[in-house]
Structure 1
C-alpha cells in the first residue's frame, strides 16, 4: 500500500464519519454511490450534440444541452495537453490522482483560516467534480452537492480521483478532462472550444491558441476573449510561462506565441440548437423528435450523449415537394396552406421521403412562418370525397364488385344517420344531393371517378358506419382512435360511430396529412399498413447502431381487394375529377387517385399513388378565420370554388413529374371475383333444408334472413328452396330472402304469339306435359332428384 493510498483511506474514513450515527446502511449506501460514480467516470460518456441528418448524411439539425464533441486523445493537439497540465496540475504525471504535497499545504492553510480556502485540486479531482456537476447531477440539489465547500465532499472527490488512477491511464484521464471542462460561450470540451473561438478542430490548435484555452479554464465565464480580451491575453501569456517552466516549450517559443494576437473569430462560432434552423426541413425534424419521444427517446435522452440520427429524408425529393407546394400556394397567402408528405410504398417498411408545407418553417409570424406541426397532426376541415375510398373498400370487402352497377339518385334522405344537409330536409333526417348531373347508374369504379355524393351515402347506409370508420383507421387514419381527438373527450372514430353519421363518407372531419398519405401507401402496398418511419439508422457516440422499436407491418386489407381498388381508382385521372389537371400537367403514367373537397370549400385534397410513389397533398385553412377557399390563385374568399382536382392535384403532379421513380411506377392487376362481386349465386346452398337449418347456414355466412314462400318444384312444403338477394348486389350483412316451399310447382306463363318474319319452318314438337304433382315427397326423394339419382 502506498503512502498516498493509506492517507486517502484515513481521510476517507473521516469523510464517512458523519454517517456513522446512522449505522452501516448509510455508509454502505455512500460507498455504493461512489462506486456507481466511478463506473460513470471510467466510461466518460458525457452530454454532447446529437445530430439529425438526411439520408445522405448532411445535417438537418442538432440537439443538445451542452455543446460538446467527445474525441479521442489522438485528436487533441499535444500542445493543448501540455498547456492544461502546466497551468492546472504540473505534477499530473507524477501523482496518483491526489497531489499530497499541495493537499497538505492547503489543509494547513485552511486550518489556519478555519474554513476551506485552498483546494489543491489535481486534474483527476477536477475531472471528478466537473463530471459529477455536469453529467451525473440530476437536479440542483445534486449540483450543489457536487460543488459544496466541505471536507466531506473534498475527501470523497480525492478518494474517487485516487481510485480512478487504477482504472485509467494518465492520457485517458487527461482526455476525459478535456472533453468535460467548460470553456465559455456554450462550449464544453476542447473540440467545441476550438471550433467556437478559432473555427478549427482540437487537433489543429496552435501553441498560442492552446495556451489561451488552457488559461480560460480557471474561470470560463469571466475570462471571455470577446468581453475581456486583455485579461485573457495576460492569462494566456501566464500559461506560456508555465509551459516554459515545465519544459514543454522553449523561451523562444513562448516569446513568439506571446507576440501573436488572440486570433479569435469575429464572433463565437455557435451551433443552432433544435429544429428552428432546419428551414423547410423543420416540419420533418419536429416529426423525428416526436416520433422518437413516443418510442421512449425523449429530448433528455438525446442530450445525454452524442447520437447520429440518419433519417429517411431525401434532400432532392424534399426540395421538389417544397417547390411543388409553395408553387401552388403562396407562402404569404393569408389563411391557406398546402402540405405534402411523400412515402415510399413497400410491404415491409414505410419510409418518409419528404415532408413539407407551403408555409416557411420559423417563428416570424409577420412573415407568415409557423412551427405548427401541420404536416403530421389533425388539421383542417377534412379531405372531402377522398373518404369515399373507405366506403368503397368496406363494400368490396363485404361482397360488392368494382364493376357492379350502383344507383345514382339525384337526392337521398336517410334516417338514423344524422340530420340536416341539403335544403328542405325533414326532421331527424340526413339529406344529400349531388353537385352535378349524373347517369342514373354507373359501375362502382366510375362512381369513384365522378364522385356522386348520393351513391356513397346510400352505400354507407348499407355497409354501415362502424365498418367504414374501421376501414379508415385500418388503412392509415390511426389518429382517429386517439381519445379526445374529436371534442376533447371522444375520439373521432367513437363519435362518428356512436352517432352513426352518414356524412362520414363525404370527409368532413380533420385529417392528419401524413396518415392520409399513408392510406395511399397502404393501398399501393397491396393492403399492407406500416408505420410511417422517418429514421434509417441511429448510432451512438462510438458508432454502434442503436435499435428503435417499430410497430410491425400488418395486412389490413385483403391483397386482392387492395389491388382491385387500386385499379378502380385509376379512372379518376383519365375520365374523372382529376382528368383535366392530369392532362394539363402532362401526366401519363398509370396511377390511382381520388379527389376530395369539403362541402363549403374549406379544404380540399388529392390522394394519389402507384407502386413507387404515394402522397396526398392537402390544402386547408390555417388562419384564425375560417373562410371558403378559391382557386387560381389559392386564397380565402367569400364563395369558394376550390376542388381537389385543382391545386391539390397540381401539387401532386408537379412533384411526381420531377421524380423518376414516380414516373416509373405501375399498378397491380385487379382480381376477378372482386371486380364482379358477389351475387345470389354466391349464397350458401340451402335447398331441401329445414327452415331452421337454412336460416342458421345463412346467418353463419353473415346475412340477415327474411322468409318468404314460393313454388317448391318438388321440395316438400315448408322446406328451403333457395336464398335470394333483395338488391342489385350482395353484401355481407345484407338482409336476404329465404324462399320456403309452398308445396306447388312453378308454371311458366304461356308464350305470347308474335307473327314471324322468317320463312316457315317445321313446327317444333310440343313440350312434354309436366309431371303430375304427387304432393310432398320424402327428403330422400328430394336429395335423389337433386343429384339425378
Structure 2
C-alpha cells in the first residue's frame, strides 16, 4: 500500500511539474526561468530545431534491374513521402480532430490539454492526452529520425518531465519557423501506422491498396485511429470499427466534417475492408517476387556499394534509387541452365554462373545465378551465401593456365604458334612438392603429342607444358598477370584451399593472402588452379581479354539517384590497361581452339555453337570442382561447379552429377554445358563478330 501511494505521488509530482513547465513555455517561451533542468536539456538540443525543420526522414531505397523493374526494396522504416497535394482534406481533418482539435489556434502548446491531463489524474483517469500535434511531431522525430538505436529511441520517447520540457520548447520554436499546414504534412509523413509502416502514403498502400489522394472519409478516419493503437486495431475488427467511428464523430463535433451527420453515418456504416493480404512492401534482398533468382545480384550490389562508401545502413534510410546493370533475360537464362545441369535439390553440388559484358570503359555485370535459390531454407535448395560473387573455397583448375600463357607471351618465351615440348611427365627444377620433395606433374591422358603450340596447349591443357612455361615466364610474373587480368579480390583473400603452410598460425594476422603465399612458397601448382577463386572475377577475366586488355571493375551499378533525383557519385575503381591490346588479342586467338578441337569441343558441338570465342576449361586434382570460362566480343561468362557441402567430396558426372568417392567431373562437362545452354539464347540476334587477329610479334 505504501509503495503504491509513493508511486502515485511521484506520478502526480511529475504531472504537476510538467504542467507548470508547459504553462511557462506558453507564457514565457524565451525566458530563461524554466529552471536548471530545462536549461540542461536545451543545451543538449540547441541545434535540433533546424533538423526538425529540414525533416530529412528515413526513406527506403529501391534497387532496379536494367529495365527499371524493382528487384529489391531496403528500408528501416517503410515510408514514402506524400506531397501536400496528395494528402486529402479528410485525412488532414481526421488526424487533427482526434489528436489536437485546437491545432490551428495554439502556438505549439495547449494549456487546456496540459491542465486536462493533470485533472484526469485527480479524477482517476488516464494522464495522457496533453501533447499537441506539434509536440507529437517532435517526439516522433526525435524517436524515429534522430535516434540511432532502440536505446536512444526509448530515451527520446520516455514518459518524463524532461521529455515534456524538451517537446514544449521545441514545439514553440518549430511553430515560429513553420506554418501549420507544413507541420501537419510532415507529421502525416512521419508517424508510424503499425508494424514497420510509416507515413500516410505507405499506410494507404499497405492497408487499402491505394494512394493518399484517393482515401475515402472512412479510410482516412481508420488511419487516423491507427496512430495511437495500430496493433489493437489490426487484431480486433470490433475495436477497429469503434475507434474509427469515434474519429468520425469527433470530426463532426469539432466542425471539421462540414458535410454533416448523414455523410458521417454513411461512413460509419462502411465495413473496414483492409487489403487481403496487406500490401506490405518486401524488405531486403531475395524477398521480392522472383527474389530467389535476383537475390544473388542484389547481394552483390550491396557488397559493391559498401566498398564504394555507401553502406547498407545509409541505403536503408537514404531514399536512393539504385539502377543496376542486371539483365533479367541473362539472369533467367543463366539460372535455367544452372538448374537444368544440376538440379537445385542436388545434395552437396553447386553450379554457379556469372555473365559480364566487355567494354573499353565499363564491364557491366549482367547476371549472377546458381542452381541454388537465394534464401535461408536449405531444405528447399536455398542458400544465403553470395555464391556467384564471393570467393569459393575451391580452385578453378586449369583455367589458371590462361595467366601462365599471358605471362609467357608478355615475357617473349612463347608464341601463339610456337611449338613447345609436352612430355608425359615433368619434374620441376624450380618448385618443390609436399614435404620438400621434387614437384612432379603428369598429364591427364597418356600418350598424345610430344610438342604443341601454345594455341594447341590451351585447347588440350597438358599440365607438363604449363609448369615448364611457368618456370620460363617466372612464377611472380604469372601471379601478377592473374591480378592484372582480373583475379584481384581472389588473390588478396587469405588462403582457404590447397596447401596452407600458415593455416595453423596462432595469430590470425600472420596468415597471408593468396598472392604472397604463392610467391613466397614458390607454389608451382598455381598454374593448375589450386587457389581459391571467384566465379565473377573469372568471368571478368574473359571480359578483359576480349576488351583489348582493358580491365574494368565488374560493376553492377548503372546510376544512383538520391531522394531528390540527383545523381550520386560513388568511389569505384577506374579502368586500367591491364595488358597492351596486341597481347590481349594474341591471347584471345591462343584461346580460340578450345571449343573447336579442345576440351570444350563436345559440348559446343552438341549445343550447335558456331561463333568464334575464347574458352578454357579447368578441373581440380581430386574433382571437387571444375569450371569453364568463355567469351565472345559481346558477352563473357564463367561457370564453376563445386562441392558445397560441409564435408566436400569428389563429383561424378552421370545422367545427373552426384557426389562420389572418386570423381570424374571435368570443365568440359557440366560447366561447359551450362555455359553454352545459357549463352546461346543470349547471343540470338547479335551479329557474329570474330575475334580480332593476333599481333604478329606474339605469333612466334
The TM-score, its normalising length taken from structure 2, stands at 0.89
8 Å CA contact 1:52–1:59 kept in 2: the answer is yes
Residue of structure 1 in register with 2:499 after alignment: none
Q: State the Cα distance separating 1:297 from its structure 2 match.
A: 2.1
Counterparts of 1:100 and 1:233, CA distance in 2:
31
Pick from 636, 652, 655: which aligns with 2:675?
Answer: 652
Cα deviations across residues 681-732 of structure 1 (Å, max 9, x unaligned)?
xxxxxxxxxxxxxxxxxxxxxxxxxxxxxxxxxxxxxxxxxxxxxxxxxxxx
Q: State the Cα distance separating 1:120 from its structure 2 match.
A: 2.4
Counterparts of 1:427 and 1:618, CA distance in 2:
31
Q: State the Cα distance separating 1:140 from its structure 2 match.
A: 4.2
Cα deviations across residues 255-288 of structure 1 (Å, max 9, x unaligned)?
0011111112344332222113211111111111
Evaluate the alpha carbon distance shift between residue 382 and residue 8 of structure 1 in structure 2; reply closer, same or farther with a 3 A threshold.
farther
Q: State the Cα distance separating 1:416 from its structure 2 match.
A: 4.0
Residue of structure 1 in register with 2:457 after alignment: 447
Counterparts of 1:605 and 1:268, CA distance in 2:
45
Is 1:595 the counterpart of 2:604? The answer is no
Is 1:328 the counterpart of 2:352? The answer is no
8 Å CA contact 2:416–2:589 kept in 1: the answer is no
Residue of structure 2 in register with 1:34 after alignment: 45
Counterparts of 2:200 and 2:216, CA distance in 1:
13
Residue of structure 1 in register with 2:319 after alignment: 306
Counterparts of 1:412 and 1:286, CA distance in 2:
44
Q: How does 1:631-670 map to 2 (within 5 A)?
A: 631=653, 632-659=655-682, 660=684, 664-670=688-694
Q: Which runs of 5+ in 1 are unaligned?
A: 21-25, 421-425, 677-789
Pick from 402, 407, 413: which aligns with 1:389?
Answer: 402
Residue of structure 2 in register with 1:430 after alignment: 439
8 Å CA contact 2:426–2:442 kept in 1: the answer is yes
Q: State the Cα distance separating 1:242 from its structure 2 match.
A: 1.3
Evaluate the alpha carbon distance shift between residue 555 and residue 90 of structure 1 in structure 2; reply closer, same or farther with a 3 A threshold.
same
Q: How does 1:353-392 map to 2 (within 5 A)?
A: 353-392=366-405
Moved more, 442-451 or 623-632: 623-632
Residue of structure 1 in register with 2:500 after alignment: none
Counterparts of 2:154 and 2:385, CA distance in 1:
38
Counterparts of 2:241 and 2:38, CA distance in 1:
47
Q: State the Cα distance separating 1:540 from its structure 2 match.
A: 2.2
Evaluate the alpha carbon distance shift between residue 664 and residue 95 of structure 1 in structure 2; reply closer, same or farther with a 3 A threshold.
farther
How many aligned residue pairs are there? 658
Cα deviations across residues 520-543 of structure 1 (Å, max 9, x unaligned)?
111111111111111112222222
Evaluate the alpha carbon distance shift between residue 648 and residue 483 of structure 1 in structure 2; reply closer, same or farther with a 3 A threshold.
closer
Residue of structure 2 in register with 1:471 after alignment: 481
Pick from 241, 245, 262: which aligns with 1:252?
Answer: 262
Evaluate the alpha carbon distance shift between residue 604 and residue 661 of structure 1 in structure 2; reply closer, same or farther with a 3 A threshold.
farther
Pick from 405, 417, 427: which aligns with 1:403?
Answer: 417
8 Å CA contact 1:612–1:664 kept in 2: the answer is no
Cα deviations across residues 414-473 of structure 1 (Å, max 9, x unaligned)?
1441215xxxxx962010111222222122111111111110001111112111111111
Q: How does 1:343-358 map to 2 (within 5 A)?
A: 343-358=356-371
Is 1:17 the counterpart of 2:36? The answer is yes
Pick from 60, 64, 77: which aligns with 2:71?
Answer: 60
8 Å CA contact 2:442–2:463 kept in 1: the answer is yes
SS in structure 1 of the partner of residue 428 of structure 2: strand
Residue of structure 1 in register with 2:640 after alignment: 618
Evaluate the alpha carbon distance shift between residue 344 and residue 15 of structure 1 in structure 2; reply closer, same or farther with a 3 A threshold.
farther
Q: Which has the higher contact order (CA 8 A, sep 6+)?
A: 2
SS in structure 1 of the partner of residue 233 of structure 2: coil
Q: State the Cα distance separating 1:18 from its structure 2 match.
A: 2.5
Is 1:132 the counterpart of 2:156? The answer is no
Cα deviations across residues 379-425 of structure 1 (Å, max 9, x unaligned)?
142111111110010111111322211111111111441215xxxxx
Q: State the Cα distance separating 1:483 from its structure 2 match.
A: 5.3
Residue of structure 1 in register with 2:329 after alignment: 316
SS in structure 1 of the partner of residue 374 of structure 2: coil
Q: State the Cα distance separating 1:117 from its structure 2 match.
A: 3.4
Q: State the Cα distance separating 1:104 from its structure 2 match.
A: 5.1
Residue of structure 2 in register with 1:745 after alignment: none
Cα deviations across residues 160-201 of structure 1 (Å, max 9, x unaligned)?
222222333322211110111111133211122222222222
Residue of structure 2 in register with 1:607 after alignment: 629
Counterparts of 1:267 and 1:581, CA distance in 2:
47
Counterparts of 1:545 and 1:195, CA distance in 2:
28
Residue of structure 2 in register with 1:418 after alignment: 432
Moved more, 36-45 or 7-16: 7-16
Residue of structure 2 in register with 1:93 after alignment: 104
Is 1:340 the counterpart of 2:353? The answer is yes
Q: State the Cα distance separating 1:295 from its structure 2 match.
A: 2.2
Is 1:156 the counterpart of 2:179? The answer is no
Is 1:188 the counterpart of 2:198? The answer is yes
Is 1:237 the counterpart of 2:235? The answer is no
8 Å CA contact 1:415–1:428 kept in 2: the answer is no
Counterparts of 1:472 and 1:333, CA distance in 2:
32
Residue of structure 2 in register with 1:714 after alignment: none
Is 1:674 the counterpart of 2:698? The answer is yes
The TM-score, its normalising length taken from structure 1, stands at 0.79
8 Å CA contact 2:25–2:168 kept in 1: the answer is no
Pick from 197, 219, 224: which aligns with 2:233?
Answer: 224
8 Å CA contact 1:570–1:590 kept in 2: the answer is yes
Moved more, 254-263 or 488-497: 488-497
Q: How does 1:686-725 map to 2 (within 5 A)?
A: none
8 Å CA contact 2:545–2:584 kept in 1: the answer is yes
Report the structure number with the largest CA radius of gyration. Answer: 1
Counterparts of 1:74 and 1:380, CA distance in 2:
56
8 Å CA contact 1:589–1:663 kept in 2: the answer is no
Evaluate the alpha carbon distance shift between residue 183 and residue 504 of structure 1 in structure 2; reply closer, same or farther with a 3 A threshold.
same
Pick from 190, 193, 208: which aligns with 2:218?
Answer: 208
Residue of structure 1 in register with 2:19 after alignment: none
8 Å CA contact 1:318–1:355 kept in 2: the answer is yes
Evaluate the alpha carbon distance shift between residue 234 and residue 518 of structure 1 in structure 2; reply closer, same or farther with a 3 A threshold.
same
Residue of structure 2 in register with 1:552 after alignment: 574
SS in structure 2 of the partner of residue 185 of structure 1: coil
Moved more, 483-492 or 558-567: 483-492
Q: Which runs of 5+ in 2 are unaligned?
A: 1-21, 497-502
Evaluate the alpha carbon distance shift between residue 266 and residue 410 of structure 1 in structure 2; reply closer, same or farther with a 3 A threshold.
closer
Residue of structure 1 in register with 2:470 after alignment: 460
SS in structure 1 of the partner of residue 57 of structure 2: coil
Counterparts of 1:204 and 1:13, CA distance in 2:
47
Misfit runs of 4+, over 6 Å: 3-6, 107-110, 112-116
Q: How does 1:575-586 map to 2 (within 5 A)?
A: 575-586=597-608
8 Å CA contact 2:58–2:319 kept in 1: the answer is yes
Residue of structure 2 in register with 1:79 after alignment: 90
SS in structure 2 of the partner of residue 605 of structure 1: strand
Counterparts of 1:16 and 1:130, CA distance in 2:
25
Counterparts of 2:388 and 2:142, CA distance in 1:
41
